[in-house]
Every structure is written in structure tokens, then in C-alpha cells.
């Protein structure tokens, strides 16, 4: 179990999915800081502290990344590949959180270094429960590498 609150980077272009994810984490009792970015380019700027995210106070190193695959500007798989290809970022766990159940995308995500692949359920209650379980594992059970 982690002694200090984790910072979660949520990379999600759909505002409804982002709000639901954040609310589900809160409802399950996880009070970690969640930073929401809306596209792949913004995610990479945040991770690499570029542009609007150059200040570490604005862009703390995330302890966990929740990454959608279907993103504008830079797709999620490219974001994943850049994170896992970077010496300074590769130890950060990345959970792919997407609507796709396609087996080829699952394989590509794991091949690029995803730590987990979670398909978003359509039903609100199912989605909320998956987020609760995801939070329970990554934020309570598992030890994160930290900063």
C-alpha cells in the first residue's frame, strides 16, 4: 500500500468518460490527484513537461496513467510507445482504458508495454465497478514506483 497519495494522469478525449472515471474513483474512496488531458499531444507534453506543462508544479510526475487508445492529435498507442520508450518514464504503469475489445489492439497495447488493458463497459454501474476494481488494485494493492 502506498503511503502518499498518487497522481493519476487520465488521458481521455470524451468528457463524459473522463467525468465518470473521476467520479467513480472518488465514490470508491480514492482521493488521489487526477489530472485530465484531452488528447495524445497534451499527454506527451504533460509527461515530458513541455509547453503549458513545463513547470513541475503544474505537471507532477504521474504514478499511474489511464490511457484511452482512440485519441485526437496523437493516438493512444503512440503515446504508450513514447512513454515506454523513455528511460525516465518507462517505469510508470500505464493502464489502457478503452472501448475497443479487438484482440489485435489488446496484443498491440501489451506489445507496446501496457501494464493492463481494460475495456470500458457500456452500462454506468458496470463502468463504475470496473474503475473501483482498477483503483483497488493499482492504488491500494499494488506498489507504484513513485517519483
pLDDT at 3 over 60: no
Beta carbons of 13 and 67 less than 8 angstroms apart:
no
pLDDT of residue 16: 93
Asked whether residue 3 is domain-assigned, the answer is: no
CA–CA gap between residue 39 and residue 76 (Å, rounded): 8
Asked whether residue 1 is domain-assigned, the answer is: no
84-88, 110-114, 120-124, range with the lowest pLDDT: 120-124
Asked whether residue 2 is domain-assigned, the answer is: no
Asked whether residue 103 is domain-assigned, the answer is: yes
Instruction: Print the domain residue range for 123.
Output: 8-141
pLDDT of residue 5: 64
Q: What's the number of domains the chain is made of? A: 1
Residue 77 belongs to a domain with what CATH number?
Answer: 3.40.50.2300
Amino acid at each position: 500500500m502506498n503511503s502518499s497519495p498518487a497522481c493519476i494522469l487520465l488521458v481521455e478525449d470524451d468528457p463524459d468518460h473522463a467525468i465518470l472515471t473521476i467520479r467513480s474513483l472518488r465514490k470508491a474512496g480514492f482521493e488521489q490527484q487526477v489530472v485530465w488531458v484531452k488528447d495524445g499531444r497534451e499527454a506527451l507534453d504533460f509527461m515530458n513537461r513541455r509547453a503549458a506543462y513545463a513547470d513541475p508544479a503544474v505537471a507532477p510526475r504521474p504514478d499511474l496513467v489511464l490511457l484511452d487508445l482512440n485519441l485526437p492529435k496523437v493516438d493512444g498507442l503512440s503515446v504508450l510507445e513514447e512513454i515506454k520508450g523513455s528511460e525516465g518514464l518507462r517505469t510508470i504503469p500505464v493502464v489502457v482504458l478503452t472501448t475497443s475489445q479487438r484482440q489485435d489492439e489488446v496484443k498491440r497495447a501489451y506489445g507496446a508495454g501496457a501494464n493492463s488493458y481494460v475495456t470500458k463497459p457500456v452500462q454506468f454501474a458496470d463502468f463504475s465497478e470496473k474503475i473501483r476494481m482498477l483503483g483497488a488494485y493499482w492504488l491500494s494493492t499494488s506498489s507504484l514506483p513513485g517519483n
